Chains A and B, each alone.
Chain A
């Protein structure tokens, strides 16, 4: 049985009819075709599926959409503003922080939430905030450097057109 849900995703209201037992991860990827959100385990073990709900990171593989009506959901597709990339996105691209790029959307969102509450985190604070996001490619160091670089940039600074 499908259920009509009213969600707000990346600032856009969406109405979607889905079975209630489908997680946010499934609804985003399969119904809304927002495939930027990735998945690595679907059991809460890897952090790959991280999205923001009212600015706080959650694991979309363990979130029920029906409980998210009335919240604002942000996925990696919502990081760019008016076609311009978020400073974190630019820093990740410039620092080599996205190798295969599969863990990247989740880490970007977790990092965004961190910088939202702590604009100048220490390296240890970044490590701790991202400690639930596994990456098999980078060894994490370039990711840490990228977050630091973005933190040094003006957070409101959406400079680079995403198409660069």
Chain B
């Protein structure tokens, strides 16, 4: 039986309290836990051994989805099941509901939260292994070791950013509220991430993600396509989120394309986005954009299927996402 390492457990009622506790117990490597579906497996494999856990499940007003003048607010502790079934999201932001539905499997989605989903650890099949396994290859840079087995000459870790909802929230220009022990700030979801497999979150370790704000859709249409071996359970080995806003005549006014699971952070395909503006989503421009968009994808050999294949698929999936959007 895989078991958790021992820890002390606190269940604060407010995010501010939680943040303070994280700060106070920093020496005990305190961590927040929401659904635990990402953290607990990691703890069982000893990727993390916090001596203190701050459970967020008692936080007041931490769940639910609400519409207001500026758009919609999704509270951090809302489960993925709630996100996928929410009527507001299904009506106005179906891509968010879809991305949530594509996470793992239904039972896990009853437990996993959207806040947790934005903060999940990066993945690598040299890293997502038991302690003994990692020890037998002398560990790696991300945890307890020196070098990166995927790219031995690389100064950084290439573990893969694997959240399904992050790319969709990014193409919708969503922001999130972070509550720290002393300050509250609101930042674009995009700026949560950092291109480094170890230091992948720009959130402070004592900040709690309490809310996600998605601006009014204003005719912005979005979609999300996910590649994985099985139609359930599996993490993305490639994800493509795309959003398009067009003028009446179909001319693209705004385009967003974000790739996930091909780098240590979600990758925005800025060149392709720029290329599309002012164009119509014809087959030619779609292909052109796809040819540009997949370039920043840097999949390596640390997840399922070959990296050359995943890179190729990035192009195919971008084209497919755009084609879907072109159909309105």
User: What residues of chain B lie closer than 8 Å to A47, measured between beta carbons?
Assistant: 105, 107
Contact: A66 with B44, CB < 8 Å? no
Chain A residue at smallest Cβ distance from B42: A43
Query: Do A64 and B55 touch across chains, with their CB atoms under 8 A apart?
Result: yes
By DSSP majority rule, is chain B's interface helix, strand, loop, or mixed? loop
Q: How far, in whole Å, are A71 and B110 apart by their CA atoms in the complex?
A: 15
Q: Does A42 contact B (CB under 8 A)?
A: yes
- Chain B CB within 8 A of A82 CB: no
Interface 1/0 per residue, A28-46 and B, CB below 8 Å: 0000000000010111110
Closest to B1 in A: A42
Q: Which residues on B sit within 8 Å (CB–CB) of A39?
A: 1
The CA of A111 and the CA of B35, in the complex, are separated in Å by 22
Of the stretches B7-15, B144-152, B158-166, B282-290, the one at the interface is: B7-15
* A-chain residues with CB within 8 Å of residue B37 when the two chains form the complex: 44, 59, 62
Chain A: which residue is nearest B233 at the CB level?
A132
| A42 touching B106, Cβ below 8 Å | no
Q: Are A67 and B232 in contact (CB under 8 A)?
A: no
Chain A nearest CB from B232 CB (Å) reads 4
A-B contact count (CB 8 A): 88
Which of B1, B11, B40, B110 contacts A26 (CB under 8 A)? B1
- A67 near B6 with CB under 8 A, answer no
B2 CB-CB contact with A under 8 Å: yes
Is B3 among interface residues, defined by CB-CB distance under 8 A? yes
- Chain B positions 1-45 with a Cβ under 8 Å from a chain A Cβ: 1-9, 11, 35-37, 40-41, 44-45
| B110 interface neighbour in A25, A41, A56, A67, Cβ under 8 Å | A56
From the candidates A26, A56, A58, A64, name the one contacting B3 in the complex (CB within 8 A): A26
| Least CB separation from A3: chain B residue | B9
Closest 8 pairs (CB-CB, A-B): A132-B105, A131-B232, A42-B2, A43-B41, A21-B4, A57-B107, A132-B107, A62-B40
15 pairs from A and B in contact (CB 8 Å cutoff)? A23-B3, A23-B4, A23-B40, A42-B3, A44-B37, A44-B40, A47-B107, A57-B106, A57-B110, A66-B55, A128-B106, A128-B232, A129-B106, A132-B105, A133-B105
Which residues of B approach A to under 8 Å, CB–CB?
1-9, 11, 35-37, 40-41, 44-45, 55, 57, 104-108, 110-111, 231-233
| 19 further contact pairs, Cβ within 8 A, besides A23-B40, A42-B1, A63-B36 | A20-B6, A20-B7, A22-B3, A23-B4, A26-B1, A41-B2, A42-B44, A43-B44, A43-B45, A44-B37, A44-B108, A59-B108, A62-B41, A64-B9, A64-B36, A66-B55, A131-B105, A131-B232, A132-B232
